[in-house]
Amino acid sequence: MCGIVGYIGRKEAKPILLNGLSRLEYRGYDSAGIATIESDKIVTIKSLGRVSDLEKATGMDAIKGTLGIGHTRWATHGKPSKENSHPHMDNSNSFAVVHNGIIENYANLKDFLINNGYTFISQTDTEVIPNLIHFHYSQSNETGNKKFIKAVTDTCNMLKGSYALEILANDFPDNMIVVRKDSPLVIGKGQDEKYISSDIPAILSFTKDFYLLNDNEFAFMSRDNIEFFDKGLRPIQKQAQNITWNAGAAEKEGFEDFMLKEIHEQSKSIRETIGSRIQENSLSSLPDLEMTKEYLESVNKIFIIACGTAMHAGYVGKTLIESLCNIPVEVEAASEFRYRNPIINDKTLCLFISQSGETADTIAALKLARFKGARTIAVSNVIGSSISREADYTLYTHAGPEIAVASTKAYTAQIVLLAIIAIHCAEILGINQEKVQELRNDILLLPSQIEEVLKNTNDIKAFAQRVYKEEDMFFIGRGVDYAVALEGSLKLKEISYIHSEAYPSGELKHGPIALIENDVTVISVLTDRLLTEKAISNIQEVVTRGAKTFIVTNQELNHSFDTVINIPKTNVLISPILSVIPLQLLAYYISKEKGLDVDKPRNLAKSVTVE
Ligand code: M6R
**Phi/psi zone of residue 310: left (φ > 0), alpha (ψ -120 to 50 degrees), beta?**
alpha
Ligand 1 atom with the smallest distance to the CA of 604 is 14
Greater model confidence, 563 or 246: 563
Tell me which residue has its CA closest to atom 8 in ligand 1: 308
List of E strands, 223-324: 225-230, 235-236, 241-242, 301-306
Q: Which atom number of ligand 1 is nearest to the Cα of residue 356?
A: 1
Task: Give the position, in ligand 1's atom list, of the atom nearest the Cα of 410.
Answer: 3
Q: Helices 409-429 and 308-325: crossing angle, nearest 10°?
A: 20
Predicted pLDDT at 147: 97
CATH fold label, 3-249: Glutamine Phosphoribosylpyrophosphate, subunit 1, domain 1 (3.60.20)
Query: Quick one: average pLDDT of 35-48?
Result: 96
Closest by CA to 27, choosing from 57, 68, 87, 71, is: 71
Catalytic residue (choose from 2, 156, 325, 350): 2
Residue 226 CA to ligand 1 center (angstroms) comes to: 33
Position 487 scores a pLDDT of 98
Q: Separation of 136 CA from ligand 1 center, angstroms?
A: 39
| Cα–Cα distance measured from residue 424 to residue 436, given in angstroms and rounded to the nearest whole number | 9
Q: Out of 72-86, 168-182, 567-581, which region has the weakest mean confidence (pLDDT)?
A: 72-86
How far away, in angstroms, is 326 Cα from ligand 1 center? 28
Q: Check pLDDT > 80 for residue 384.
A: no
Per-residue model confidence (pLDDT) at position 483: 97
Closest residue to atom 11 of ligand 1, CA basis: 308
User: Is the predicted pLDDT of residue 607 greater than 80, yes or no?
Assistant: no
pLDDT at 72: 92
CA 75 / ligand 1 centre spacing (Å): 18
- Could you tell me the distance, in angstroms and rounded to a whole number, from the CA of residue 297 to the centre of ligand 1? 32
* Cβ atoms within 10 Å of 227's Cβ, excluding its own: 15
- Average pLDDT (429-447) is 96
Question: Cα(473) to centroid of ligand 1, in Å?
Answer: 22
CA 415–ligand 1 middle distance (angstroms): 14
Given a cut of 80, is residue 288 above it in pLDDT? yes
Stretch 54-80: mean pLDDT: 91
Protein residue whose Cα sits closest to atom 16 of ligand 1: 406
Element (H, E) at 128: helix 128-139
Among 199, 337, 355, say which to mutate for ligand 1: greatest number of ligand atoms within 8 Å of CB: 355
On the question of pLDDT at 195 being above 70, the answer is: yes
How far, in Å, is the centroid of ligand 1 from the Cα of 308? 5
Residue 248 has pLDDT above 90, yes or no: no
Looking at the predicted structure, is the pLDDT value of residue 26 above 80?
no
- C-beta of residue 198 within 8 angstroms of C-beta of residue 164: yes
Residue nearest (by alpha carbon) to ligand 1 atom 9: 308
Pick from 309, 412, 580, 599 the residue to mutate for probing ligand 1's pocket: most ligand atoms within 8 Å of its CB: 309
Which candidate in 110, 409, 600, 606 is catalytic? 606
Going by pLDDT thresholds of 50, 70 and 90, the confidence category of residue 484 is: very high
Whether 3-249 and 458-593 share one fold: the answer is: no
Query: By alpha-carbon position, which residue is closest to atom 7 of ligand 1?
Result: 308
Alpha-carbon distance of 74 to 87, in angstroms, equals 14
Query: Whole-structure pTM over 0.85, yes or no?
Result: no
Of 115, 142, 124, residue with least CA distance to 86: 124
**pLDDT of 117 above 80:** yes
Residue 443 clears pLDDT 90, i.e. is over it: yes
Mean pLDDT of 296-308: 97
- Return the ligand 1 atom nearest residue 312 CA: 10
Q: How far is the CA of 486 from the centre of ligand 1 (A)?
A: 13
Q: What CA–CA distance (Å, rounded) separates 331 from 338?
A: 13
From 262, 363, 607, 611, give the residue whose CB has the most ligand 1 atoms within 8 Å, as the site to mutate. 607
* Residue 517: pLDDT band with limits 50, 70, 90: confident
| 3-class state of residue 365 by DSSP | helix
Determine the pLDDT at residue 247: 65
Residue ranges of the domains in the chain?
3-249, 252-451, 458-593
Q: What's the gap in Å between 262 CA and the centre of ligand 1?
A: 15
Residue with CA at minimum distance from ligand 1 atom 14: 406
Ligand 1 atom at shortest distance from the alpha carbon of 359? 4
Name the residue type at position 114: I
Quick: pLDDT tens for 136-158.
999 999 999 999 999 999 999 99
Give the chain's mean pLDDT.
Answer: 93
Q: How far apart are CA 105 and CA 162, in angstroms?
A: 11
Reply yes or no on whether the pLDDT at 249 is more than 80: no
Which percentage of the chain shows pLDDT scores above 70? 99
* Span of 244-248, 267-271, 309-313, 506-510 with lowest mean pLDDT: 244-248
Q: List residues near ligand 1 (CB under 6 A).
A: 307-310, 354-356, 359, 362, 405-407, 494, 604, 607-608
Q: Of ligand 1's atoms, which has the minimum distance to the CA of residue 411?
A: 10
pLDDT above 90: residue 400: no
In order, the DSSP letters of 38-93 are ETTEEEEEEEES-HHHHHTSTTGGG---SEEEEEEE--SSS-SSTTTSSPEE-TTS
CA-nearest of 76, 101, 80 to 30 is 80
How many angstroms does the Cα of residue 72 sit away from the middle of ligand 1?
Answer: 19
Pick the CATH number of 458-593 from 3.40.50.300, 3.30.465.10, 3.50.50.60, 3.40.50.10490: 3.40.50.10490
Q: Which of 317-326, 532-541, 564-573 has the lowest mean pLDDT?
A: 532-541
pLDDT band at 370 (very low <50, low <70, confident <90, very high): very high
Catalytic, 606? Answer: yes
The pLDDT of residue 508 is 87
Mean pLDDT calculated for residue range 276-303: 93
Residue owning the nearest CA to atom 12 of ligand 1: 308
**Alpha-carbon span 230 to 72, nearest angstrom:** 27
> What is the CATH code of the structural domain delimited by 252-451?
3.40.50.10490
The residue length of the chain stands at 611
